[in-house]
Structure 1
Amino acid sequence: MSALYFKYQAFDKAGKVENGQLNAESEREAVRILQGRHLTPVKIQQTRPGAERLRRKKISNTDLLDFTSGLCTLVEARVPIDKALRLLDGITESAAMRELVLQLLRDVKEGRSLAEAMESHPQVFNKMYVNIVRAGEEGGILHELLPDLAEFLETSAQTRQAVISAMIYPTVLLITGVISVFLLLVFVVPQFATMFEDAGTDIPPSAAFLLALSAFLQSYGYLFIVAVVVAVVAWRRLDYDPVNKLRKDRFLLSLPILGSLILYRECAVFSRTLGALLGAGIPLIRALRVAREVVANAVLGTSLDQVEEDVRGGAGLGLSLEKTGQFPTLLHQLVAVGEESGRTADILLKSAVTFDNQVRNQMSSLVAALQPALIIFLAIAVGGITITMLSAVFSMNAVEF
């Protein structure tokens, strides 16, 4: 299996210079590969695949889950890390993931631990992932922790996929409806304008409004698209300023239905991460710091900073969570029970499942209410345009008669 990258310069049979890269176990093997291609190597230099190039190649959550599951299976079978990575290189389908595996293998062969090698790729392996692997390597229990890590990633992926799947139909319905209304106003309604002009009759106010709106969209419709793009960009840029991000996240949490969805989702991520870290034997303060970084909402993140300070000062985790006033009562009560029974990690993992179920249930209820509401709204919009214009035509014919 290939493990290292080499740049080479070689002559072909015609004497032309050829430059390129190849993978090989060693420089000697690289020479053999080039000779097998009927090339005469002039210069061979070992190199590391560019980190920038790897960043440009997107590694999906599915790729990471497949890698973790494969590594888990091999480590449980007591296969050495370097050999396990070499085997994963051979069975990994994603080119970007295969390139990453080769980098990990090279780092491990150079004497670095697997956690240290993963730490060089924060765009793929977050701090929770790295800390669990490090705890497993230091304690000699990597074969026990990797299954939990794989289960963590799989559960997170299932929850994320459930949310995405639930929103696909309403999103398609909304986009289709908006496009239908836009096409009616831009291409169908203007056809009536000529008819009204030829008739020379007064146009009903409702039809006149639609004709004016149609004329505006024909002349300045692109401004609507520009406004949407500008709004999306401006909304995203709020994340670059800490103060604006804090205001944005506080606003999102205050929304009636979306706010509770965000809160439960963040609580699920926090609970699952902290539970996994504590279960791996990582100290509470260090685990809190890592779990804090996986929480995307700035308001909850600021509250967790205060929780860390309180716990560092000797307060209990459950009491510290309650003190912030930002987290659901269920979370800090369950954590308090876990602290009393000495099963905080297990309780956190179970509470994560509870919050995931709440997210799914609320999403199902939201989608169930959203679908008929969108259908009714679009029916009113399309039907209203059609009836308004036809009524104007009928009234015009009645006047002529």
Structure 2
Amino acid sequence: MPVYEYTALSSSGKKLKGVIDADSLTAARQKIRGLGHYPVDLKETSSKPSTIKTSLFSKQLTLGKSIKQQEVHIATRQLATLLGAGISLIPALNGLIEQTDNRSFKTVLAQIKDAVNEGNSLTSALTDHPRLFSKIYVNMVRAGEASGSLDVVLERLAEFGENQHAIGSRIKAALLYPLFMAIVGVVVLFLLITFIVPSITGVFEGTKQALPLPTIILIAISALLKQFWWAVLFVVLGAIAGARWYIGTPAGRQRWDGLKLSAPGFRDLTIKTASARFSRTLASLLQSGVPLITSLQIVKNIVDNVLLADLINNACDELEKGSSLSHFFKGNEWFPPMLVQMMAVGEQSGTLDKMLAKAADSYEKELESKILALTSMIEPVMILTMGVVVSFIVVSILLPIFEMNQLIR
């Protein structure tokens, strides 16, 4: 059924905008009049490509205006509240459509409502938008519908997305200042070497004095950046693009992920990040009633590491043979002992989801504190690096001056 965007006037003369689904343009006008409004402008929605930003359990959608992460979380929570209050699904979706200001999101919600209205399940309606609602979202909703606790599952989905978004926002805020300092430092050094240094070192060019090695190096770097800065920039960007392309290949991705799991400084951070994502996502899926093997098949795409994904896939095979999750991961260097122990306790007591949720709380706090500690170390490292570079420039300029003074004496 087509979806139409409309502009109408209310009985009091107030201008209204919204989205409505109908079989035809005439039916849409009649539907708007049935709401007590007078239609002024009515057109069928188009689907022009554009990026839509979504949450951790969402990817990208090609529609009009961008949909922010928070809009998806808010809509999920609102739908959970409406269903929890005893309102049936169709009126609840109508309420969401009326409350949403984003036209692109209105269109998506209207299409979902239309699919449900035709007799499809909410899960089936969500699968029509795979770039907006990921496997985690769809499978949790499917489990909620099967168990008759859709409102509870949607509440968990909203909490899950909001928590992940909050953690990501705090980490981004912590990285913002060091990033700004790094950009300012690079710009200052570039201006210093390309504009200030040549005017000073130009004094030495008229003399026949043999210049010290540091001064020769500084003059060469200055001349290179001043005349061929565009080539240097092209090489740097080309190297970054080449590295990104190589990492995008299967062999490159495997090497890069292996490096992250073995390199000092990166290893601990990578393992804690993967453990937090693994625990939180698996706990949320299990609490929603999704079977363990199905949950693991979803989680392996969340850890963002092909080696860990292969390991989780092997765990699924062992589980089908009758092995336990904790037994498979026991002794593995990529799964922390605490996480494995909590899995074992959860499996023995039948509370695996609760144990994983506790492990996720612990690892998320550890991860956040570790990232904050690393970002606090970036600033002194940058200051030290700037100091070393500036010291090299100063020494390179002063050395020939000292030698000239000695010759004059």
Residue 149 of structure 1: how far off its partner (Å) = 1.5
1:6-45 counterparts in 2 under 5 A? 6=4, 23-26=19-22, 27=24, 28=26, 30-31=28-29
1:112-191 counterparts in 2 under 5 A? 112-191=120-199
Cα 1:341–1:383 change in 2 (3 A) is: same
Counterpart for residue 55 of structure 1: 62
Counterpart for residue 273 of structure 1: 281
Counterpart for residue 215 of structure 1: 223
Structure in which a larger fraction of residues adopt helix? 1
Counterpart for residue 310 of structure 2: 302
Cα 1:62–1:259 change in 2 (3 A) is: farther
Cα distance in 2 for residues equivalent to 1:38 and 1:285 = 53
Q: Secondary structure at the match of 2:165?
A: helix
Please say which of residues 50-59 and 106-115 is displaced more in the overlay. 50-59
Cα 1:186–1:158 change in 2 (3 A) is: same
Please say which of residues 109-118 and 265-274 is displaced more in the overlay. 109-118
Q: Deviations over 1:246-296 (max 9, x none)?
A: 111001111212222121111111111111111112221111112222221
Match for 1:243 among 235, 251, 257? 251
Counterpart for residue 58 of structure 2: none
The AA in structure 2 aligned to 1:333 is: Q
1:84-123 counterparts in 2 under 5 A? 84-123=92-131
Cα distance in 1 for residues equivalent to 2:265 and 2:227 = 38
Matched-pair contact (CA < 8 Å) for 1:5–1:49: no
The AA in structure 2 aligned to 1:381 is: V
Residue 388 of structure 1: how far off its partner (Å) = 3.0
Q: Secondary structure at the match of 1:59?
A: coil
State TM-score, norm by structure 2.
0.84
Cα 1:239–1:377 change in 2 (3 A) is: closer
Cα distance in 2 for residues equivalent to 1:102 and 1:159 = 31
Cα distance in 2 for residues equivalent to 1:256 and 1:84 = 51
Counterpart for residue 254 of structure 1: 262
Matched-pair contact (CA < 8 Å) for 1:272–1:349: yes
Cα distance in 1 for residues equivalent to 2:327 and 2:291 = 18
Aligned length: 382
Q: Deviations over 1:116-172 (max 9, x none)?
A: 111222222111111111111121101122221111111111221222222112221
Q: Deviations over 1:274-325 (max 9, x none)?
A: 1111111222111111222222110100100111111111000111122654
Residue 71 of structure 1: how far off its partner (Å) = 1.9
Q: Secondary structure at the match of 2:82?
A: helix
Cα distance in 1 for residues equivalent to 2:244 and 2:317 = 30
The AA in structure 2 aligned to 1:207 is: T
Q: Secondary structure at the match of 1:274?
A: helix
The AA in structure 1 aligned to 2:227 is: S
Counterpart for residue 349 of structure 1: 357
The AA in structure 2 aligned to 1:50 is: S
Cα 1:367–1:240 change in 2 (3 A) is: closer
Cα 1:7–1:38 change in 2 (3 A) is: closer
Cα distance in 1 for residues equivalent to 2:395 and 2:247 = 45
Matched-pair contact (CA < 8 Å) for 1:59–1:124: no
Residue 49 of structure 1: how far off its partner (Å) = 4.8
The AA in structure 2 aligned to 1:24 is: I
1:386-401 counterparts in 2 under 5 A? 386-393=394-401, 395-396=403-404, 399=407
Cα 1:255–1:165 change in 2 (3 A) is: farther
Q: Deviations over 1:59-115 (max 9, x none)?
A: 332222222222222222222222222222222233433332222222222222211
Q: Secondary structure at the match of 1:254?
A: coil
> Which runs of no fewer than 5 residues in structure 1 stay unpaired?
9-21
| Sequence identity percentage | 29
Matched-pair contact (CA < 8 Å) for 2:5–2:20: no
Counterpart for residue 316 of structure 1: 324
State TM-score, norm by structure 1.
0.86
Cα distance in 2 for residues equivalent to 1:24 and 1:98 = 9
Cα distance in 1 for residues equivalent to 2:4 and 2:114 = 12
Cα 1:267–1:38 change in 2 (3 A) is: closer
Q: Secondary structure at the match of 2:244?
A: helix
Matched-pair contact (CA < 8 Å) for 2:194–2:226: yes
- Give the RMSD, CA atoms, in angstroms: 2.8
Cα distance in 1 for residues equivalent to 2:397 and 2:101 = 57
Residue 352 of structure 1: how far off its partner (Å) = 0.8
Residue 349 of structure 1: how far off its partner (Å) = 0.9
Counterpart for residue 18 of structure 1: none
Matched-pair contact (CA < 8 Å) for 2:29–2:39: no
> Which runs of no fewer than 5 residues in structure 2 stay unpaired?
7-17, 51-60
Counterpart for residue 13 of structure 1: none
